Amino acid sequence: MTPSSPSPGSRPVPSEEALLPSKEALQVGLTGNVASGKSTVARVWSHMGIPVVSADDLAREAVAPGTAGLEAVVELMGPEVRAADGGLDRAAVRRRVFRDPELRERLEAILHPRIAELRAAWVRDREGEGHRILVSEVPLLFEADLAHHFHRVVVVHTDAHLRRERLVRDRGLDQEEARRIMDAQGDPDAKRRAAHHVLVNHGSRGELEAAARALMERLQAEAGAGAGPGGEAAP
């Protein structure tokens, strides 16, 4: 099979050693398919004093105005994905990549190494502050083959019909766009089987929040740490 050409602006993936779980802090990967409730869990853990970084936020940083990442995406996809303010028109990008799997792969070849570098720097900084548990919210953790970068993987699971309803109701997508986004992600049942812990989100938000708190308390006990640096609970 002929190797595909490198995407514009692509860069080598950081070394495996640089991306493996740190020996200093318990690295927790938080994932789940779109509209499953990951952000709710991340917010609960953040309120408990646990450092949480979002791969989506890192992706925004990687293509911020003036970055090489942004210019690489514009080179790949054309000037129409540049927003009026000079940043990236994420809606325009989303519409195109969920219709074109090959384009999505080329975009990921630009973004994923940059996101990995930013996350590695974030981990170093948080460990320098003495934190014993670090959480990375990574929607495509399994799709990008990142599970081995974490000591523990937590999957938030919600049935497909509920996730589709949330995408339409809460994010203003039409049924077809919601279907394309959902179809572009991996099998949720396979993710459940591969996870260390599963939070099932079929009830109320309060029930998910309570389950998230209980799980983090277990992880804290496992790590021998409180929420804050040095094992002390954050205020």
Q: Is residue 221 within 8 Å of residue 177, measured between CB atoms?
A: no
Q: Report residue 224's pLDDT band, with 50, 70 and 90 as the boundaries.
A: confident
User: 3-class secondary structure for 157-191?
Assistant: ECCHHHHHHHHHHHHCCCHHHHHHHHHCCCCHHHH
Query: pLDDT tens across 108-125, in order?
Result: 999 999 999 999 999 999
Q: Report residue 98's pLDDT band, with 50, 70 and 90 as the boundaries.
A: confident
The torsion of the CA quartet 213, 214, 219, 220, rounded to 10 degrees, works out to 70
Please state, for a pLDDT cut of 90, what percent of the chain lies above it.
Answer: 80
Mean pLDDT score, 151-160: 97
Q: Report residue 23's pLDDT band, with 50, 70 and 90 as the boundaries.
A: low
Task: Check residue 20 and give its pLDDT.
Answer: 61
Mean pLDDT: which of 21-30, 45-54, 95-104, 170-179 is highest?
A: 45-54
Determine phi and psi for 109, rounding to 5 degrees.
-65, -25
The torsion of the CA quartet 191, 151, 234, 211, rounded to 10 degrees, works out to 30
Q: Beta strands 133-137 and 26-31: pairing type?
A: parallel
Name the strands in the sheet holding 133-137, side by side, starting at the edge strand that comes first in the sequence. Answer: 52-54, 133-137, 26-31, 152-157, 197-200
Q: Report residue 5's pLDDT band, with 50, 70 and 90 as the boundaries.
A: very low
**What is the rounded distance in angstroms from the CA atom of residue 202 to the CA atom of residue 37?**
10
- Best CATH choice for the domain 21-51+131-223 from the list 2.60.40.10, 1.10.3720.10, 3.40.120.10, 3.40.50.300: 3.40.50.300
Query: pLDDT tens across 34-74, in order?
Result: 999 999 999 999 999 999 999 999 999 999 999 999 999 99
Task: Check residue 22 and give its pLDDT.
Answer: 63
27, 29, 51 from 147: Cα distances, Å: 11, 7, 19
User: The whole model's pTM is what?
Assistant: 0.84
**What is the rounded distance in angstroms from the CA atom of residue 227 to the CA atom of residue 216?**
9
pLDDT value at 14 more than 90: no
